[in-house]
Amino acid sequence: MAALAVGASASARVLDSSDRTFSLPGVRYMHKIRLSDTTLTPRVEKLPEGLRWNDRRKLVEGTVAAEGDYVYNVIAGADTVPVHLTVSSSLPMPTPMMGWLSWNVVLSNVSESLLRETADAMHDKGLYDAGYRWLGIDDDWHCGAERPADSIPAPDPVRFPHGMKAVGDYLHERDLKFGIYSTAALRTCDNKFGSYLFEDIDARAYADWGVDFLKYDYCWVPELNIGDYTTQEVALDLYSRMRRALDKTGRPIVLYMCEWGTTRPWEWAHKAGAPMWRATHDHRDGWYGRRLNTDPDNTHLGGQGVFDIMNHWRHFSQYTGVNHFNDADMLCIGIRGRGKASNLLLLDVTYNRPEGVFEKDGQRYTGMDTEEARTEFAMWCMWSSPLILSLDVRDYISPGDLAVITNPELIAINQDPMGQSADFVHERDGFQLWVKDLADGGVAVAVVNMNDTAADYTLDPADIEALEAGTAYTLRNLMERSDDGRLDGPRKLSLAPHACKVWRLAPVR
């Protein structure tokens, strides 16, 4: 075998899919095998009892009943790559996180009173009952740009007069999980003190406050002069430092990596002990993101819209599974142009702009329209992306938006215990087709009109390899929560611009 680059693994060179997987005991398991060399055909050996190789679809599937650690091999040409499977009922993140973060609409105005009011609103508006349980403080909670003299992190004393433990206690009394924010550098994204070189001190403080998850960002890493921050080795070292510090506290704190996909974290995040990680640059409240004329492929400087993320997401399904989730960033549904960071689609818009609708050069910016917001939420569900709201839940939420974000049938697709992401099947005539395998053997199908005008599309079951040829399927419309008859042949659809249809299919027996 040829020598590997420093820090690389055999799996990183041979596999274009995960070599570290997880499953709940007794729940259907699926592992999609993709190879970096597409001219090779994979095979597997030494599968645990209950698993089998699906040669037609090139995936491992089945059910493992007993908890434990297992290893099976993927064979690709002359290479053998071990795949490590952990089956456990006590994984830190068996299904994607559902919750809320403060950044998009709050920024530096985050406070103790805001967190308390948000916690109460999550209960009052049915969000808790819908499954949203993780509530996080993002950047700007700090007492200042510099650390206190004793190096122990402290919050702003005016905005958090009773300290962070009081916030954690309030959330825990309401059965909510408490999240905090820091960075793997000396400064946070908004120039407060970061955690690099202070990992143990910060982790101990977080544990004392009752923190349940840490959103750990990646701003200002280049200034550390510790190597190329775009390499996996540097990122892995920085995130592993914090993971070890969190483990020392004895409190189970989830490490949520916010590295923006720069170093392909889906390939290595498990080594840092993270069950979820950002796979995109910042998502904004719009269909299209901002591109620079001098760099048309760089979509992140002004933020990525739904359109951009959908095109970015096409190759992530083989890197998604239980306890192993790619994050498409905070949801912007419900903000309706009233946000702050979520409106940064132009470089000259600052965080300090007034609240409300943004206007520039006579153009009025109001965020995603209704269809775009519905598509955003549906696709996050199809991808098993964390569902992290960022609207001000204390404020007015339209009945339509509230119905979408609490839709139990869409949420069930996101929280499916097999943890798969939808596969991108094709883009045809401006329509994208996505298909997701489900734990009960069913299939979820999403059709998205990427066109800027209403258009027609023909859904053909022959395009969906997860379906059995010659079998009719019932169609459950998850958006409308209604039955749409059967799919037993090509079906013509008409969709508004940027709209989508999502069905749950079950065979007619």
Each residue of 106-128: pLDDT tens digit? 999 999 999 999 999 999 999 99
DSSP summary character for residue 304: B
pLDDT at residue 11 in the model:
53
Each residue of 421-466: pLDDT tens digit? 999 999 999 999 999 999 999 999 999 999 999 999 999 999 999 9
Are 156 and 142 in contact by the 8 Å Cβ rule? The answer is: yes
Backbone angles phi, psi at 214, to 5 degrees: -120, 115
Mean pLDDT of the chain, nearest integer: 91
How does residue 415 score in pLDDT terms, banded at 50, 70 and 90?
very high
Are 324 and 383 in contact by the 8 Å Cβ rule? The answer is: no
- Find where tokens 């083989």 sit: 318
Answer yes or no: same fold for 10-87 and 137-278. no
Which SS3 state, helix, strand or coil, does residue 324 take?
strand
Each residue of 372-404: pLDDT tens digit? 999 999 999 999 999 999 999 999 999 999 999
How does residue 294 score in pLDDT terms, banded at 50, 70 and 90?
very low
CA distances from 395 to 215, 339, 392 (A): 25, 12, 6
Each residue of 145-178: pLDDT tens digit? 999 999 999 999 999 999 999 999 999 999 999 9
- pTM over 0.95? The answer is no
The HSE-up count of residue 502 (CA atoms within 13 Å, CB side) is 27
Q: Which CATH number fits domain 10-87: 2.60.40.10, 2.60.120.10, 3.90.420.10, 3.40.47.10?
A: 2.60.40.10
pLDDT at residue 302 in the model:
60
CA distances from 333 to 306, 448, 450 (A): 11, 17, 18
pLDDT at residue 366 in the model:
64
Each residue of 244-277: pLDDT tens digit? 999 999 999 999 999 999 999 999 999 999 999 9
- Give ∠ CA 176-121-114 in degrees, rounded to 5: 80
How does residue 303 score in pLDDT terms, banded at 50, 70 and 90?
confident
pLDDT at residue 101 greater than cutoff 70: yes
pLDDT at residue 354 in the model:
39
How does residue 89 score in pLDDT terms, banded at 50, 70 and 90?
very high
pLDDT at residue 1 in the model:
24
Are 219 and 227 in contact by the 8 Å Cβ rule? The answer is: no
pLDDT at residue 3 greater than cutoff 80: no
pLDDT at residue 25 in the model:
98
Report the number of secondary-structure helices (H) and strands (E) in the chain. 11, 25
pLDDT at residue 487 greater than cutoff 70: yes
Each residue of 62-72: pLDDT tens digit? 999 999 999 99
pLDDT at residue 355 in the model:
38
pLDDT at residue 145 in the model:
96
pLDDT at residue 6 greater than cutoff 70: no
How does residue 9 score in pLDDT terms, banded at 50, 70 and 90?
low
Each residue of 321-356: pLDDT tens digit? 999 999 999 999 999 888 888 876 643 443 333 334
pLDDT at residue 365 greater than cutoff 50: yes
Which SS3 state, helix, strand or coil, does residue 254 take?
strand
Residue range 291-295: average pLDDT?
43
Lowest mean pLDDT among 134-143, 221-230, 280-289, 456-465: 280-289
Each residue of 29-58: pLDDT tens digit? 999 999 999 999 999 999 999 999 999 999
For residue 492, the cross-strand partners are 458
The fold of the 137-278 domain, in CATH, is TIM Barrel (3.20.20)
Are 340 and 351 in contact by the 8 Å Cβ rule? The answer is: yes
The HSE-up count of residue 262 (CA atoms within 13 Å, CB side) is 20
The fold of the 423-507 domain, in CATH, is Immunoglobulin-like (2.60.40)
Domain residue spans in the chain?
10-87, 137-278, 423-507
